[in-house]
Amino acid sequence: MKKITSIIALVAMALSFGAEAQNEITVNADKPGSVINKHIYGHFAEHLGHCIYDGMYVGESNTKIPHINGVRKDVIEALKKLKIPNLRWPGGCFADTYHWKDGIGPKKQRPSIVNAWWGGVTEDNSFGTHDFLNLCKELGTEPYLAGNVGSGTVKELSDWVQYVNHNGVSPMADLRKTNGQEKAWGVKFWGVGNEAWGCGGNMRPEYYANIYRQYATFMTDWDNGSKLFRIASGANSKDYNWTEVLMRDIPHHMLEGIALHHYSVINWDKKGPAVGFTEAQYFKTMQEALFMDELIQKHTAIMDKYDPKKKVALVVDEWGGWYEVEPNTNPGFLFQQNTMRDAVLAGATLNIFHKHSERVRMANLAQIVNVLQSVVLTSGEKMLLTPTYHVMEMYNVHQDATNLPIEIKTNDYSFEDKKLPAVSASASKDKAGLVHISLTNIDIRNAQEISINLQGLTAKTVTGRVLTASSVQDHNTFDQPNKVTPTEFKGATLSGNVLKVKLPATSVVVLEVK
């Protein structure tokens, strides 16, 4: 009898779920918020493993792989489709060992460097400042140069700024012209060191704040047409004291942005596999990804205390999933596969950035090719686009659009005795008046029925795309490069100003409402 009663209860529950949406979202189109800065969609290219060499850069004498000045054409075309707004280089930890003058001039005369941080390999410096900045020009993206504070000097960084930004007569401008670049590139974004609390010098925040003030003083704007955007080496995840000290001790006229680094890591000692992970490992990864919301709220609260007008940007210039390297690969190269887990991680994280777009005005996914949560993987002449690539491409409709605040009530994704919100969402309105709504479902078993109320919006049509797969483990390989790709989404219906959406398990959807 008890068994029959339980079955009846389950059937009744299923019918009730079918009768009405399980989740409710209100999009406040009549209460527009701040602009979602396109620079939230930035990327990161470090001299690490096969990100630069044999990833992006294959050399100018390569005859097997089509390239433009040594950079793969297929990678260039893929990145153009992403509309990447900025690209951070040369690190990361590598930045505080990199001496930029080693990477200019005739390539055969450049000294080599041992990459002590990542694999102990020797690099020939054939990819340097000119190569990177010309690549950014080809991509139509703004360069973000990370300066060497840990092992460099004030003069070295000051000279680099002059070399790339000064169009007049000066020692560094003359040197640039000697090396074949007549006109300055006009680089706006500059990192003043990287992870000064760790690989950038193991500094205390008070010491770094003083060092920052010194370096920033000598970073002259020159005549590049726009003020330098100097970014301080910010906190490691929940080190709120670091943010407190920097906001307190650095005059804000010397500070345009402060960084934040947070990776979705299961355990730093045992990170778990990129493929073949357990549900417990998946749940922990999602927990760490969604923790980004709390991190931003708490760091923002500190920044608001010293900067209530929000003039200083929070720059999340390293984020993403971090797992064990793929079997039989160099542990120092950080090469990992990219599954549907990474796709929903990216979607949920971008939704969080949109929510906090008033303060978060720049971010950089780590990293762009062959390293960590990359958008592109290469192997010899082959190249593939990862699930994360597809999410970044689907979401780029939000770049420079106006954030539409949302209210959300969501079911839980439950595992054992723990719970997380299953659905995350964000919405924006672009300059053409189109409204885009992005949705993620991190629940690996259950689809989510959602009722979306469109307040202040007269909608006539809805279209969309979805990224999902039969398993959260699914990923693209060089033998099956299109196993996980976006398809047309047919699970949305519009009635008046209410959208009914059925979001598949483990999926990312972007809707366009006209």
Q: What digits encode the pLDDT tens for the residues 397-411?
A: 999 999 999 999 999
H/E segment holding residue 454 = strand 448-455
In a domain? residue 345: yes
Q: Which amino acid is at 292?
A: M
Distances (CA, A) of 135 to 36, 67, 79, 97, 229: 25, 11, 11, 22, 20
Q: Which amino acid is at 458?
A: T
Euclidean distance between CA atoms 269 and 498, whole angstroms: 47
Question: Catalytic residue at 358?
Answer: no
For the entire predicted model, the pTM comes to 0.93
Distances (CA, A) of 143 to 123, 150, 185, 333, 339: 22, 21, 9, 23, 28
- Cα torsion through 427, 429, 430, 431, rounded to 10: -170
In a domain? residue 10: no
Q: Can you read off the two tokens belonging to residue 298?
A: 């708490």
Query: Are residues 56 and 182 both part of a single domain?
Result: yes
Q: Which residues pair with 35 in a beta bridge?
A: 402
Euclidean distance between CA atoms 363 and 401, whole angstroms: 16
Query: Are residues 258 and 314 both part of a single domain?
Result: yes
Query: Are residues 311 and 423 both part of a single domain?
Result: no
Q: Structural domain tally of the chain?
A: 2
Q: Where are the beta strands (DSSP E) in 325-447?
A: 360-366, 376-379, 382-385, 402-403, 406-409, 412-415, 418-421, 423-429, 435-441
* Catalytic residue chosen out of the listed positions 46, 142, 195, 449: 195
The answer to whether the CB of 144 falls within 8 A of the CB of 189 is yes
In a domain? residue 385: yes
In a domain? residue 57: yes
Question: Catalytic residue at 60?
Answer: no
CATH at 447: 2.60.40.1180
How far the first Cα of the chain sits from its last, in Å, is 53
In this prediction, residue 265 carries a pLDDT of 97
Query: Are residues 229 and 321 both part of a single domain?
Result: yes
In a domain? residue 470: yes
SS3 state at 71? strand
* Catalytic residue chosen out of the listed positions 123, 318, 393, 449: 318
Q: From the CB of residue 90, how many other CB atoms can be counted at a distance below 10 Å?
A: 25
Decide which of 350, 375, 400 is a domain's last residue. 400
Query: Are residues 116 and 192 both part of a single domain?
Result: yes
SS3 state at 506? coil
Nearest by Cα to 286 from 414, 388, 392: 414
In a domain? residue 1: no
In this prediction, residue 397 carries a pLDDT of 98
- Which phi and psi (to 5°) does residue 427 adopt? -145, 155
Could you say which residues of the chain have pLDDT below 50?
1-20
Token pair 């008033």 is found at: 358
Query: Are residues 184 and 215 both part of a single domain?
Result: yes
| Helix, strand, coil share of the chain (percent; to 5) | 30, 25, 40
Decide which of 375, 400, 425 is a domain's last residue. 400
Domain of residue 180: give its range.
38-400
Query: Are residues 230 and 252 both part of a single domain?
Result: yes
**Residue partners of 436: CB distance under 8 A and separation at least 6:** 397, 398, 401, 427, 428, 429, 430, 510, 511, 512, 513
Query: Are residues 281 and 354 both part of a single domain?
Result: yes
Decide which of 371, 400, 429 is a domain's last residue. 400
Q: Report the b/e string of 431-454 with b at 16+ CB within 10 A.
A: eeeebbbbbbbbbbebbbbbbbbb
Q: Is 1 exposed, middle or buried (0-12, 13-18, 19+ CB in 10 A)?
A: exposed
CATH at 160: 3.20.20.80
* Ordered DSSP codes for 199-268: TTT---HHHHHHHHHHHHHT---TTSSS--EEEEEEEETT-HHHHHHHHHHS-GGG-SEEEEEEEE-S-S
The answer to whether the CB of 43 falls within 8 A of the CB of 56 is no
The answer to whether the CB of 50 falls within 8 A of the CB of 379 is no
Q: Can you read off the two tokens belonging to residue 148?
A: 């060497």
Query: Are residues 364 and 457 both part of a single domain?
Result: no
Query: Are residues 395 and 470 both part of a single domain?
Result: no
In a domain? residue 241: yes
Q: Which residues pair with 366 in a beta bridge?
A: 44
Query: Inter-axis angle of helices 73-82 and 129-139, to 10 degrees?
Result: 50
Euclidean distance between CA atoms 154 and 219, whole angstroms: 9
Query: Are residues 370 and 420 both part of a single domain?
Result: no
**Residue partners of 140: CB distance under 8 A and separation at least 6:** 80
**Residue partners of 492: CB distance under 8 A and separation at least 6:** 462, 464, 499, 500, 501, 502, 509, 511
Query: Are residues 390 and 307 both part of a single domain?
Result: yes
Q: Which residues pair with 425 in a beta bridge?
A: 439
